[in-house]
Homo-oligomer: A and B are copies of this chain.
Amino acid sequence: MTVKKVTFADIARYTNFSKTTISRYFNNPNSLTEKNRQIISDALIKLDYHENKLAKVLAQGSTEFIGIIIPNLYLHYYSAILENILNSYQEYNYKFLVFVGHEDINTERQYIKELLSYNIEGLIILSHTIPSEELASYKIPIVSIERESCYISSVDTDNYLGAVQATSHLIKNKCDILVHINSLPKEDMPAFNRITGFEEVCQDSDIPYLIYNKDLGATHENISKNLSHMLDDLEEKYPYETKGIFLANDTYASVFLNLIIRKFGELPDKYQIVGFDDSPIATESIVPLTTIQQKIPTLTQYAMEILSQEIYARKNKLSSEIVHREVPPVLVKRETTH
């Protein structure tokens, strides 16, 4: 399984050109005649020569590498973002070195050090735990997604708008009581605005509202147990009212829906449910979920645009501004609301 590497010397010997001529073929082809280019090109095929881009990019100083650090690939939101970023190869031709950071600050630091030693041209980091001030200190083009980003460029869903869309939809559908369920997002995270948006729309209306904001746990079992207590609490406090429930993501919404159906055998009219994300579970749940769709292709497209502009600016020693872009989400109406 070993393969002999073909060198410039081999090509020179085969074609009777000098090694300098062979080098010019790769680095300045227009300095050769059409005829000589053809001779060398034929020889490369005959000799089964493989281009060594590494040597070339090293000489030119641009590796075309972008580093990606992502917390996990278990959540569909992350794997969908990663897939979209990787697909951008067809447009930008960047190659991606990918690491799973597990939301651990020292793991993230170790990976950034490794990536820097491979001369990456830029970094995309999702839901990072390293403060953005420290990330900025690495002095490379960086775009963050869905976390605190005071000192670096970022792309986020407009979470406030999403919450406004969900809550207004439940109000329009004449719910008697509005409920938001969330799991203690930090106040400097973009997702915290799902709570703010819900609360402000409720306060503008005259409809009573309730927020359950507690740690729901990381396992399906714990999430299910916690949501079951909330369902019991709602049934006790508001047995006859129409309850409009906006949950922080589709996974919670689907678990909550399953609990209702296991209790009543169907989804009764007195429950209306809106999720967040439009992940696959939203269509695959037992009753298709009304939800707030995050525009993942747009998020990743903006991230790549901002990053490639910063890379261009850095190469050409231009200054570049920190950019924050928000992507408006969309209400997708399915069968858990009227």
Binding site for B on A (CB under 8 A): 1-3, 50-55, 58, 63, 72-74, 76, 79-80, 82-83, 86-87, 89, 95-100, 114, 116-119, 139-141, 220, 251, 254-255, 258, 261-262, 265-266, 280-281, 283-286, 310, 313-314, 317, 319-320
Q: Is the CB of B63 within 8 A of A74?
A: no
Q: Is the CB of B63 within 8 A of A117?
A: no
Q: Is the CB of B82 within 8 A of A118?
A: no
Q: Considering residues A79, A116, A255, A281, which has the most beta carbons from chain B within 10 angstroms of its beta carbon?
A: A79
Can you give 24 A-B contacts (C-beta < 8 A)?
A: A1-B319, A3-B140, A50-B116, A50-B117, A54-B117, A54-B118, A55-B58, A72-B83, A73-B80, A74-B80, A74-B83, A74-B280, A79-B79, A86-B98, A95-B114, A95-B118, A96-B98, A97-B97, A220-B283, A220-B284, A258-B285, A262-B286, A281-B281, A281-B284
Q: A251 → chain B, closest Cβ, in Å? A: 7
Q: Considering residues A52, A76, A83, A266, which has the most beta carbons from chain B within 10 angstroms of its beta carbon?
A: A83
Chain B neighbourhood of A286, CB < 8 A: 258, 261-262, 286
CA distance A262 to B261 in the complex (A): 10
Q: A323 → chain B, closest Cβ, in Å? A: 12
Q: A314 → chain B, closest Cβ, in Å? A: 5
Chain B neighbourhood of A83, CB < 8 A: 72-74, 100
Q: Is the CB of A139 within 8 A of B1?
A: yes
Q: Is the CB of B262 within 8 A of A265?
A: no
Q: A255 → chain B, closest Cβ, in Å? A: 7
Q: Is the CB of B96 within 8 A of A314?
A: no
Counted per complex, copies of this chain come to 2
Q: A292 → chain B, closest Cβ, in Å? A: 19
Q: A299 → chain B, closest Cβ, in Å? A: 15
Q: Is the CB of B55 within 8 A of A1?
A: no
Chain B neighbourhood of A119, CB < 8 A: 52, 54
Chain B neighbourhood of A281, CB < 8 A: 281, 284
Q: Is the CB of B100 within 8 A of A98?
A: no
CA distance A53 to B54 in the complex (A): 12
CA distance A314 to B117 in the complex (A): 25
CA distance A210 to B52 in the complex (A): 55
Residue of B at shortest CB range from A257? B286
Residue of B at shortest CB range from A95? B97
Instruction: Pick from B51, B80, B100, B117: contact of A53, CB below 8 A.
Output: B117
Chain B neighbourhood of A284, CB < 8 A: 220, 251, 254-255, 281
